[in-house]
Structure 1
């Protein structure tokens, strides 16, 4: 799989998702797709980001845009997180980091003096033809979803 770049078609992928299903990018042709990568289920920043996408979900739907959240967490954690927060969109489990590598979101992080590899909060907007139109890296949660929604409406 090649890495993504703006203006280029995104390679298809298929991952296990909440709702006991698998979701492929090709399944969503004809719709714009927001893929947001987040570090971990049920942590404060990730919960807030998910709630912001949830609270704007209807507006994204009106903009012909599906939302997919992705982390390395397993499906059980995803199901609990989705259910507890009332997310109307699916969460994809990327335990083997294939999609994370395709979108180049794995970064070295330092927490409490220890270095580890983790997901850098990032969002990608793919148009209805499967072409990457915009990316946001090193995302700060506050105000982010509104910016993504504005970009989706502009497609």
Structure 2
């Protein structure tokens, strides 16, 4: 099953930094921004995380919580989060269940080798748990501002 635009997102349970276990049901009543990225401590992923960090107070004003998601371990996430002073938690999706729910796993190529990896993507879930916006094949510059604008337009 995959999440579809303008439909309720199936409940999920995931592990996040700060020793948190999150479920979508617990976040009911709040807007949720999930941004999927390939790997901690890489240039594009660091830049994207920093942009969410720098605009985080604006996301809070818009009534949203932000979570970064990758397949990295919680330990790697904790280090990345502390190093970059992220005010939001990072979700460790080592079993790819959340990645598959949002259909962000794609065949990629690096140095001539093919592998499955995360396609940089962002999703907004409204306060009722309905998927309202999705961005796929994200280019980092200006992206976080677009997400914030879409979030502010939600009721």
TM-score, normalised with respect to structure 1: 0.98
Give 5+ residue unaligned stretches, structure 2: none
Match of 2:57 in 1: 58
In the alignment, which residue of structure 1 is the partner of 2:110? 111
SS in 2 for 1:68: strand
Q: Deviations over 1:4-37 (max 9, x none)?
A: 1111000011111100111111111111000000
What is the number of equivalent residue pairs in this alignment? 154
- Residues in 2 aligned to 1:9 and 1:21: alpha-carbon distance in whole angstroms: 23
Corresponding residue for residue 22 of structure 1: 21
**Distance in 2 separating the partners of 1:90 and 1:25:** 14
SS where residue 61 of structure 1 aligns?
helix
Partner of 2:136: 137
How many angstroms apart in 2 are the aligned matches of 1:84 and 1:22?
22
TM (norm. structure 2) is: 0.98
Distance 1:72 1:18 in 2: 13
Q: Distance in 1 between matches of 2:67 and 2:37?
A: 11
- How well do the aligned residues superpose, as a CA RMSD in angstroms? 0.5
Query: Unpaired segments of 5 or more residues in structure 1?
Result: none
